[in-house]
């Protein structure tokens, strides 16, 4: 179980948490990009790649016995800030469908490039699974 942290007097952030407290087994997911399990890009569209990257992260979590409900932190690396902002409605819909909650400490950073030249976004995830 995780708990969003919000200092007294701060405005509640939209779409993320300022901090998260959690205890349990930690799972660290490497940067996921928008290609499929065969390492093939099906699209160069930002929102479609972000959706696939989220699917990939969830698949890795499932392999570790976790799910999206255990995510406590995400870092998004995007190659074009304007492209990211333009795609937010579609990305938000995919996020709600695949992840379902916003009790996640998130950071988004624009970078000059990613290691795979067709990649538009890369997403790292940290999850904490409560111990039984």
- pLDDT one-digit tens code per residue, 52-69: 999 999 999 999 999 999
28 contacts: CB under 8 Å, gap ≥ 6: 124, 125, 126
pLDDT at residue number 102: 83
Select the more confidently predicted residue: 15 or 41.
41
Q: What confidence category does residue 14 fall into, taking pLDDT thresholds of 50, 70 and 90? A: confident
Please give the mean pLDDT across all residues of the chain: 96
Predicted TM-score (pTM) of the model is 0.94
Q: What percent of the chain stands above pLDDT 90?
A: 91
- How, if at all, do strands 71-78 and 2-5 pair? unpaired
> Mind listing the domains of the chain with CATH numbers?
2-129 (3.30.1330.40)
- Is the pLDDT at 115 greater than 90? The verdict is yes
- Averaged over 41-59, what is the pLDDT? 98
Q: What confidence category does residue 119 fall into, taking pLDDT thresholds of 50, 70 and 90? A: very high
Nearest residue to 29 via CA among 68, 1, 3, 2: 68
- Averaged over 77-84, what is the pLDDT? 98
Radius of gyration of the chain (CA): 15
- pLDDT one-digit tens code per residue, 84-102: 999 999 999 999 999 998 8
pLDDT at residue number 101: 86
């Amino acid at each position: 179980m995780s708990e969003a942290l919000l200092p007294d007097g701060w405005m509640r952030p939209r779409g993320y948490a300022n901090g998260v407290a959690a205890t349990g087994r930690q799972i660290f997911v490497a940067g996921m990009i928008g290609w499929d399990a065969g390492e093939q890009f099906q699209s160069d569209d930002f929102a479609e790649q972000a959706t696939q990257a989220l699917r990939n992260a969830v698949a890795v979590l499932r392999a570790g016995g976790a799910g999206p409900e255990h995510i406590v932190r995400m870092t998004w690396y995007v190659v074009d800030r304007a492209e990211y902002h333009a795609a937010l409605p579609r990305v938000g819909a995919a996020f709600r469908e695949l992840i379902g909650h916003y009790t996640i400490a998130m950071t988004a950073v624009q970078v000059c490039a990613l290691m795979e030249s067709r990649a538009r976004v890369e997403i790292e995830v940290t999850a904490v699974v409560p111990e039984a």
